[in-house]
Amino acid sequence: MRKKLSLSISALLAAVLTCVGTYAQTTQKRLLALSDSARMAYDFPAALEFCQKAIRLDSTARSRYEEPLILAQNGLSMMGYCSQPAVIARKVVSLKDFFLYYPLPEGSWRPTPNQLDSTGKHLMARAVYIPDNASEIYYSANDDDGIRNIYKTTLDGDLWSAPALIGERLTSASDEIYPMLSADGQTLYFASKGLYGMGGYDLYVSHWNKDTKDWDVPVNMGFPYSSPYDDLLFMNSEDGKYSLFASNRDCPKDSVCIYVLEYDEVPVRKSIDDVDELRQLAALEVMYEGTEEEEAGGQGTEPQNESTRRYVAKLKEVRALRDSLSAYRKHMDELRTMMATADPERKENIADVIASREEELPALNEALQKAVGQLQEIEMEFLSKGIVPDERKLEAEASRTDGGNTSHFEFTRREMGPKLQLRMSSTKPKINYSFKILNEARFADSNTLPDGLVYQIKLFSQPRKASLADLKGLSPVYERKTSSGYSYAAGLFNSYRDALSNINKVKSRGFRNAEIIAFSNGQSIGVSKARNLESELSVYIVVIYPENGQSLPEEVIARIHDYSGQDLIKTVDNGAVIFKVGPFDVKAEAESLASDIRAAGENSVSVTVSR
């Protein structure tokens, strides 16, 4: 009897625990859904609170809520840095060809799939932008793991170089799309789904660092450019008047809205604590949108008398000039306030902007005084004719027409360019056998690094030793004892380019903060220094002078591809066509390839040293 009772109690307890567990899981799912809904409604404080409640229910499931937790925290943080651009115009268009409505040269967008982007099936990225007379192309394409990265190819003679990733800082474990380079080539805008953001694609800007000769850490452009929705393809117009970007916030499915903003050279950011105010900012309402009657060409209350029409037009001009003058002075006051706390370099830039604006003030003042004088002349004309205009109606008419879209921005759909046809240098990606992703991770046989220059991908540091499960299939992994615990890094790479081509694989395994590190003769050195050293190292190039003076036989090309996996570049030297293969770190490898080429019938081959 006691045994049966004991079994009944055990079964009851098991049933209770199952019910409790099921209730907790159901509650967590509901809290996660509420968090997601709050985030999409820009209520980041509430989104964060819902995530934290879900974690408190079961702290062991924290990893399951890590991403929504980070998105909510990021959104909350970015509420402290909000821009307030003036919205000139906006237009909802189809996602499949929205980029054609941007003010860019006719035919500068090329359809996918093509030589650079072979997929052509991405939901957002539908074309590659190639400006007129381009000598370099920045574009987005899938890597071997299906993650979209930003690549660059450069025109060398009549051949385009083998595509290369543009930098470690501009890659993530998710997609980067629609890179747009500024006119001066010093600023890159792009959209990313994997960098510091608040969900969906956010907009980022990175500046070229002349000292490191690399792109700086990209910065999220923040509200209202970025949002919890998909925001993409930011650019500044060539005439310097507008900034444009697209977003699917408040849009039908398969559509985006293109926003045209007044270009702001030195944007002033402010903190927004109120969620409703943030929603209003993110809505990006146009400063002025005509009434249905105006859009239809109706007369409305427009005065029919020529004199009153002139009066209203001049009154509108006076108001616009006064508003411009007021905005000018306000902006200059804001610039002076910013300059007081800016660093020296930034202070100098702001001072230049202030000086430039001050030079324009006299002309603006003069235009205002002239318009006021002309308005007074019309009023005197009224008096001389005994006309007593209805000031209330004229004021209302001026207000109705005032503030219109003075930019006259017009959305014009351009045509897609012809199918892409680039002459690319032949290349075969290197296979680095020192780095693999296996079913089970493996530690390196020895943690001693080889002599010379090598790169690794740092995974993480922690107080305790890592288990194989912590390393998620990466091989080989090197363990180092530190003053605070243990540090782990994967792979051995002979060049920065090799390490860069593998870092996304590491990030996609869950190591979000993975970074490239470098060593020289076993000693840790900065990556910038390592790259400089790498550029100074002697390398070997195989140079081929084709016997027919123009091209290489197919058998020779096949030998090059099968044997070396190096770049094959065609150039012209003193009027003669030559082919170069390399670089090779080891002279014996270059000599071996040269022998194979001679065996294939091409005798004019040499090995040269390069740095």
Q: What is the pLDDT of residues 340-364, one digit of tens each?
A: 777 776 777 777 777 766 777 787 7
Structure tokens at 66: 């890590």
| Three-state secondary-structure class, residue 95 | coil
What's the pLDDT at 601?
81
Burial class for 453, CB neighbours closer than 10 Å (0-12, 13-18, 19+): buried
Please tell me the distance from the alpha carbon of residue 217 to that of residue 223, in angstroms, as a whole number. Answer: 19
Residue whose entry in the numeric block shows the structure tokens 């819902």: 50
Helix (H) or strand (E) holding 305: none
φ, ψ at 66 (rounded to 5°): -65, -45
Torsion, Cα 106 111 114 119, to 10 degrees, reads 150
Torsion sign (Cα): 298, 303, 304, 308: negative
Structure tokens at 139: 């574009």
Helix (H) or strand (E) holding 534: helix 527-536
Residue whose entry in the numeric block shows the structure tokens 């008096």: 383
Residue whose entry in the numeric block shows the structure tokens 């020529």: 306
Please tell me the distance from the alpha carbon of residue 326 to that of residue 126, in angstroms, as a whole number. Answer: 43
What's the pLDDT at 495?
84
CA 81 remoteness from chain centre: 18
- Best CA proximity match to 485, nearest among 467, 465, 469, 471: 465
Name, in order, each residue with C-beta under 8 angstroms of 331's C-beta and a sequence gap of 6 or more.
357
| Cis peptide bond N-terminal to 224, omega within 30 | yes
Please tell me the distance from the alpha carbon of residue 225 to that of residue 235, in angstroms, as a whole number. Answer: 11
Q: Which amino acid is at 590?
A: A
What's the pLDDT at 607?
80
What's the pLDDT at 404?
39
Torsion, Cα 510 513 514 516, to 10 degrees, reads 160
First-to-last C-alpha distance (Å) of the chain: 89
Residue whose entry in the numeric block shows the structure tokens 């840095």: 81
Structure tokens at 177: 């799309």
Burial class for 200, CB neighbours closer than 10 Å (0-12, 13-18, 19+): buried
Residue whose entry in the numeric block shows the structure tokens 């235009």: 367
- pTM, whole model, 2 decimals? 0.66
Helix (H) or strand (E) holding 339: helix 306-341
**Are the beta carbons of 474 and 509 closer than 8 angstroms?**
yes
- 385-399: pLDDT as tens digits: 666 655 555 555 554
Structure tokens at 438: 């296996």
What's the pLDDT at 260?
95
Degrees to nearest 5, angle at CA 180 with 175 and 184: 145
Please tell me the distance from the alpha carbon of residue 305 to that of residue 313, in angstroms, as a whole number. Answer: 12
What's the pLDDT at 431?
47
Please tell me the distance from the alpha carbon of residue 326 to that of residue 333, in angstroms, as a whole number. Answer: 11
**Are the beta carbons of 569 and 156 closer than 8 angstroms?**
yes
- Best CA proximity match to 127, nearest among 368, 385, 415, 398: 415
Number of helices (H), then strands (E), belonging to the chain: the values are 12, 26
**Are the beta carbons of 201 and 230 closer than 8 angstroms?**
yes
What angle separates helix 2-40 from helix 44-57, to the nearest 10 degrees? Answer: 170
Q: Give the chain's residues under pLDDT 50.
A: 5, 17, 20, 289-304, 399-407, 428-431
